[in-house]
Amino acid sequence: MAEPAQGTPGPPTTVILFGATGDLSRRKLLPGLLHLWRSGLLPHVQVVGTSLDDHTRESFIDLARAGIAEFSEDAQDKEEFPEFAKHLFWAPNGADNLRAAIEEAESGCDDQHTRLHYLSVPPKSALAVVKTIQDAGLVENSRIIMEKPFGTDLESAKALNASLHEVFDERQIFRIDHFLGKEAALNILAFRFANGLFEPIWHRNFIDHVQIDIPEKLSLEGRAAFYENTGAYRDMIVTHLFQVLAFTAMEPPVALDPESITEEKRKVFRSMLPIDPHHVVRGQYTGYTSEPGVDPDSETETFIALKCYIDNWRWADVPFYLRHGKAMAEGQRIISIAFKEPPRSMFPEESGVGEHGPDHLTFDLADRSRMSLSFYGKRPGPGFRLNKLSMQFDMGNTHWAGSGLEAYERLILDAVKGNHTLFNSAEGLERLWEISQPLLDHPPPVRAYDPGTWGPNQIHQLIAPFSWRLPFERKWRD
C-alpha cells in the first residue's frame, strides 16, 4: 500500500491515459503512476486507460503488469502492483464509454477528483482526443498534458493553440518537456540563485560561452514516420534544449512560484535573436535513408548544432551552443558553462596555464544528478606546473521512494497540483517558432556523419576557437 508521503501529496486524482497501450505508457507512465502512488505522493489516484486497441479491464491490467515488470527498476513497486491494480480501469473507445469508466473509477471516493487527461498519442490525433473529452463533458475541473512536438512552425503552433483554447483555458493546459522534470534542471535554479559564490558572476563579464549538449546513441527505434516529418530541430531544439537554455539564462524570479518563473522564461525567449542559418550545422547519419519508412532522397536532419544569442543586458554577445543528434558516440545530457580566462602574463611560459581551455561548470542532466567544476591547480613538487583539476558533486542515494522521482513522475505530480513551473507556455512556444523561421525558410545543407561519431566536421568551425565539452577528457567519478 501507499507509504506516508514525505512531500506534499496531490489531491484525489483520476488520470485518464489516452494511448494507454503505447510504448510511452508501458515504459514511463504506468510505472511512474505506480511509483507516485506507492511513495504516498498520489495516494488517492485512479487510472483509466483508453486507446484504439481492443482491451478489457483485465487485459489492461495484464499489460500494465508486464510493462512494470520489464521497465520498473523499483523492486518495492513491483511487489505492490497487485494492490495498485485495483486502481486501474479500462474505457473502450468513445465519449460515452470514457465517461462511464471514469464514473466507475471514482465511485468509491466521496471527495471530488481532479481529472488529468494525458495525451500519449501522435500529434495528428491530439485534437480528436480533445473533441472526445469535450463530448464526454470532462473539461470542467480537469487538466490536460500535451506531448511534443507542439506544432512544426509558427503558423501550426498558433492554430493548435487556438483550437485548444476553444475547449481548455490556458491554465488547464500542460505542454510537457520531460527534460525540465529532471532533478538536475531544478538544481540549476538552486545553484544559481542560492549561492553567493556563483550568482554574482552569472553574466557576460565572466562567462565566455554556454554549451547545451544532448547527443543520443539511439537511432530511429522504429519512429521513421514521425521523424521524417519532424527532424532533429523540431523534435529536440524547440521543445527541449531551448527550454533548458531558459533555465540557464533567466533572471532571478521574484518568487519560486510558477507564474514568476514562467514570466522570466518568457523574457529570455523574447530576447533571443532569430536563428541565423549560417550559424547552424545540419547532419544526417550514414544509413538513415536505408531505414524502413524513410524516403531514399530524404533531407531530414538527424543532427543539429547551432549558435544563438540572447540580446539582453546579462547575455549580450555571449554565444549559446546547442547540439543534438541521433546515432552518436555517446548518450549524454549536459549543460557546460565556460568562464572567461584571466590574463596569463604572471605565469611562466611552460606552466601549462591555458593549455586545457577555460574553467567549466558542468551540469549532468541524466537521471543521476551530478555537477562538476573544473579549474587549474598547481602540480605538487618543484617548479610551477599547472594541471586541470575538477570537483564533482553527486546527489547520492536516499531511501524514501519519492525523493528520486523520475522526470515524468515529477511532471505528472506538478500537473495534478496545477504547477506550471516546468511546462511550456503558449506564448513561449510561439516565440520560439518565430525566431526559428529564418532557419525553417533557409535550412543549410545536410552533411553526412558516421554513426558512433560526434557529428559532421563542420561543428568544430561553428565553435572555434574553443571546442565542444563532449567528449569529456575526464570521466565522471563513481
User: Cα(167)–Cα(422) distance, rounded to whole angstroms?
Assistant: 22
Q: Where in the chain is the domain with CATH 3.30.360.10?
A: 180-407+424-463
CATH of domain 180-407+424-463: 3.30.360.10
Report yes or no: 268 and 244 within 8 Å, Cβ to Cβ.
no
pLDDT tens for the chain, 478 residues long, are 555 445 688 899 999 999 999 999 999 999 999 999 999 999 999 999 999 999 999 999 999 999 999 999 889 999 999 999 999 999 999 999 999 999 999 997 878 889 999 999 988 899 999 999 999 999 998 999 998 888 889 999 999 999 999 999 999 999 987 767 666 667 788 888 888 888 899 999 999 999 999 999 999 887 888 889 899 999 999 988 999 999 999 999 998 788 888 899 999 999 999 999 999 999 999 999 999 999 999 999 999 999 999 999 999 999 999 999 999 999 998 999 999 988 766 777 777 676 677 888 888 877 667 788 888 777 787 777 777 777 887 765 444 444 467 888 989 999 999 988 888 889 999 999 999 999 999 999 999 999 999 999 999 999 999 899 998 876 777 6
Closest-CA residue to 361 (of 180, 195, 178, 239): 195
User: Cα(306)–Cα(302) distance, rounded to whole angstroms?
Assistant: 14
Q: What is the pLDDT of residue 183?
A: 63
Element at 50 (helix H, strand E): strand 45-50
Binding residues, by number, are 19-26, 148, 178, 182, 216, 235, 326
142, 238, 189, 403: CA torsion to nearest 10 = 50
Binding residues for NADP(+), by number, are 19-26, 148
User: Cα(34)–Cα(72) distance, rounded to whole angstroms?
Assistant: 9
C-alpha cell at 388: 586541470
Measured CA distances, 85 to 68, 151, 402 (Å): 11, 36, 20
Binding residues for substrate, by number, are 178, 182, 216, 235, 326
Q: What angle do CA 139, 142, 145 make, to 5 degrees?
A: 105
Closest-CA residue to 30 (of 99, 95, 77): 77
Radius of gyration of the chain (CA): 24
Closest-CA residue to 207 (of 459, 476, 466): 466
User: Cα(478)–Cα(475) distance, rounded to whole angstroms?
Assistant: 9
Question: Would you state the CATH architecture of domain 13-147?
Answer: 3-Layer(aba) Sandwich (3.40)
Catalytic residue among 35, 113, 240, 360: 240
Phi, psi of 360 (to 5 degrees): -130, 145
Report yes or no: 162 and 127 within 8 Å, Cβ to Cβ.
no
Q: What is the pLDDT of residue 400?
A: 41
Q: What is the pLDDT of residue 179?
A: 67
Judging by DSSP bridges, how do beta strands 320-325 and 303-308 pair with one another?
antiparallel
Partners of 364 in the β-ladder? 334, 370
| Residue 328 DSSP one-character state | B
Q: What is the pLDDT of residue 122?
A: 84
Instruction: Give residue 147's Cα distance to chain centre.
Output: 11
> Burial, 391: exposed, middle or buried (Cβ in 10 Å; 0-12, 13-18, 19+)?
exposed
Known catalytic residue: 240? yes
Tallying the residues shown for the chain, one arrives at 478
Q: Where in the chain is the domain with CATH 3.40.50.720?
A: 13-147
Q: What angle do CA 110, 115, 118 make, to 5 degrees?
A: 150
Q: What is the pLDDT of residue 446?
A: 97
Measured CA distances, 374 to 209, 221, 377, 378 (Å): 15, 36, 10, 13
User: Cα(434)–Cα(441) distance, rounded to whole angstroms?
Assistant: 11
Instruction: Give residue 336's Cα distance to chain centre.
Output: 17
